[in-house]
Amino acid sequence: SSPRLLGTMIGRQAHADPWGLLATVDTDVYGEPENPSTSASRRKLLHAYGEYCDATRGRFGTTKDGHNIPSTRHLVHPIQNLFFGEPNAKRWRRAMDDALKKDSKND
């Protein structure tokens, strides 16, 4: 009998390349018959994740200095490397960081 895998750590790779590692995790790891519709494209994923962020931002109140918990920056951190390995990935990260700096005054 072959040894059974009980678990694995994927944190660093999930942060470095979330799309490459997780886009097909439902079928590859969990044996689901198909992946969710958000795995069809990064655009679909971003649209759905944007709705999630809108519903979640500030859900747990604000800090003493008036910042939302969770903040926009905390919510978008998991998708910072969504375009890892793609042309202009650095441009994506830079544009997202610039937008977050502008938004930090409203957070």
Residues whose CB falls within 8 Å of the CB of residue 19, separated by 6 or more in sequence, listed in order: 42, 45, 82, 83, 84
| Three-state secondary structure call for residue 43 | helix
DSSP 59: T
Mean of per-residue pLDDT scores for the chain:
90
Q: What is this structure's pTM?
A: 0.81
Q: Which residue is associated with the tokens 């944190």?
A: 11
For the cut 70, the answer to whether the pLDDT of residue 105 exceeds it is no
